[in-house]
Structure 1
């Protein structure tokens, strides 16, 4: 909720120029990738900055903004000095405990690198919750059941934090912790009413996106039934709210899960339903991803012609480039992911050499800063090479995945490594193969 101290950031607004908030947010995400950072920037975030609600960005955004505008300081960009913002917050917290409507910007202004280090060194779920900032991030329903900007902003922040940590470390150790803010978000929806309709719309969208994020963590950590339940919950939320963007996202995830479970016709139907929802939007990239989901389902059915048609459609749509209407959650979907998803299609069709070529491109194109995706693409490459009859190359790729397992916790990646070891068993035990199999067994990568 805006307060009397909120002053519009006119300097930042001038820097945006003639670009729409969505177009500017896309430029921020591209700039982040250039320096190995990831920020979940969308038009809403730009609006919060320009309105003065965000008086000082977190450290990740600070690095990106200073990269975009070299030679300018945070003050030049219209922000308040960090020590001024935090100092006032600390004094206010000591004198007056925060009321339900207190601005959460300061509380959410955390250093992402510190969170990541704390997460990787934590040994218990309790410590992990504290280090992630997820435990209690979404406030419980107020007396009287009303919610406002504070609660909605907290839900949106929980989604961003989960995505950031998953990009870096995988899902296994995040899933249980992430379920807490999800339960609270839906408790807010069930128990309360919003102060205005726009707030209610944001809460529905935020709760739905949070359900999808938690569902993905369940999916990636080997809990398919939990994932299916979360995706269904998100889809129901989308239908209730009439939110086409959320509906398309839910169908995309549901299609991916169905394909992984071997329910290929369901995967195709979900992808097609997602495309129908996405046609209400103006995002060729979203339609490209949903076309790739359809291609994956058709590949599982052995429908080579249908798969190739969907792949061609996906490449055409992807070639139109990113746009201001691209959903925030699609920041992961660049050329490396396009190559990886195509590799999965050829693998399902039994064209192992072609699959390996696309998987290799994904590993080359992927920014090494995003450890989880890099490990996944290399694990996929190792499996495709083993199936293509290249055991030494498969073992080499698998060994590079093992190098990352101290940073990444993903049942999907471990399952691919297990499959690679199984596929290598019939081959003569060359040096690279023996070394990989021995390391895999020693590290317990099962």
Structure 2
């Protein structure tokens, strides 16, 4: 296996394995056995050992770290892994976020907000809304973490009453962006905690626009966690809060409701929700029709529509929606583009062309870097593979290639 210039082979781990007189297959088997003894089953295999030893992955998840220590009799820190500075998907960064979440929750409940230069913070939130479309989630969350620390510090000081509303709305929108970013990273426990804070902060504003938007972001998280009952409840709550005034949160929530109902096989309900989203989009103010996280446009609607019909297995209706989504999707909006292409791959597979479908999905993944693939995009790719019978996957070399591409170094860092 060739090693690129930016990879550092783990010679230490290779030497330790060879000193134990174990092949890569045997070493993987020992790790699996150790996992069972520890009560923490793992799925170590030869390919994972190769990724470690060649430097494709320079970090091991905690479940593997404990097994490695048991098998080698050495502490993990001495096994040659060159763990990078903590990415935002790592425990350290998420731990810092949790500290901020707790502090922010206490600040909102105490009402201890300070007077600040609101305009600058509002512009910062707007910029984050634009960046959310094309910046990899790990990098975006790192920036959000830093700015949230500043917002919390400002909120924790006495302030004039006149600044309360605007500052609380800034905080709610930033919390909603954190939720959205954690969803992309598939950090479900942290998402749930932040969703509660985002919801509470949004309600403090009393602003239907902010509340409905925050609830729509929360709906995303429940949807991708496949908690469809909760997702549906939140989606309808977002639309109810918005009332009769056209609002981004309500339109997005209607589109998400369509996807939820499609996943449940409810075609009439799905198509009715798509119709509401279509109508709502046509009524939005011009300034709200954009591809920011705080806007909604036809490209996003067609992505949601195509996904809904993919869930329903209606490839005839899914294809044109997917094509329109791809035509309208900005080249930098890697997430919606990747999901749309994975939906198209699912349609190809459903229509009986599994090899072409997997090849199409592999092309989509090859167009992304590790940070972009990490989280829910990789999860969707794995779901695509899992939908094929195991015998069929084994018979298609492209299935193994796709599976390998879906393994990223960031995956190894997840607990």
| Residue deviations 1:151-184 (CA, integer Å, cap 9, x gap) | x345434434544443223313443552343244
SS at match of 2:286: coil
Which residues in structure 2 correspond to 1:294-313 (within 5 Å)? Answer: 294-313=257-276
* Structure with bigger RCO (C-alpha 8 Å, 6+ apart): 2
| Distance in 1, Cα, partners of 2:289 & 2:405 | 43
Q: Which runs of 5+ in 2 are unaligned?
A: 1-83, 90-96, 98-103
Between the aligned partners of 1:442 and 1:338, the Cα distance in structure 2 is 29
User: 1:10-21 residue pairs with structure 2 within 5 A?
Assistant: none
Cα deviation digits, residues 134-163 of structure 1 (max 9, x gap): x9xxxx99xxx873343x345434434544
Tell me how far apart the structure 1 counterparts of residues 128 and 406 of structure 2 sit (CA, whole Å): 27
1:271·1:293 contact (CA, 8 Å) conserved in 2? yes
CA distance in 2, matches of 1:381, 1:159: 33
Deviation at 1:249, TM superposition (A): 0.8
Q: Return the match for 1:159 from 95, 109, 125.
A: 125
Number of matched pairs: 305
- Partner in structure 1 of residue 27 of structure 2: none
Structure 2 residue aligned with 1:148: 115
Q: Distance in 1 between matches of 2:290 and 2:314?
A: 33
Change in 2 beyond 3 A, CA 1:408/1:164: farther
Deviation at 1:395, TM superposition (A): 2.7
Specify the SS of the correspondent of 1:369. Answer: coil
Instruction: Give the whole-Å Cα distance in 2 for the aligned partners of 1:280 and 1:187.
Output: 37
Q: Could you tell me which residue of structure 2 aligns to residue 363 of structure 1?
A: 326
Provide the alpha-carbon RMSD of the alignment. 3.5
Give secondary structure in 2 for the equivalent of 1:319: helix
Distance 1:299 1:314 in 2: 15
Query: C-alpha deviations, 1:380-408, integer Å up to 9, x for none?
Result: 32233323322243134213322322272
Q: Could you say which residue in structure 1 is the equivalent of 2:60?
A: none
Choose which of 296, 309, 323 in structure 2 pairs with 1:346: 309
Paired position in structure 2 for 1:236: 200
Map 1:278-427; keep pairs closer than 5 Å: 278-279=242-243, 281-283=245-247, 286-320=249-283, 322-324=285-287, 330=293, 333-406=296-369, 408-423=372-387, 426-427=391-392
Alpha-carbon separation, structure 1, partners of 2:88 and 2:381:
29
The answer on 1:192 being equivalent to 2:144 is: no
1:222 aligns with 2:186: yes
2:57 maps to none
Secondary structure at the counterpart of residue 138 of structure 2: coil
TM-score (norm. length: structure 1):
0.59
Q: How high is the TM-score relative to the length of structure 2?
A: 0.63
- Structure with a larger share of its residues in helix: 2
SS in 2 for 1:416: helix
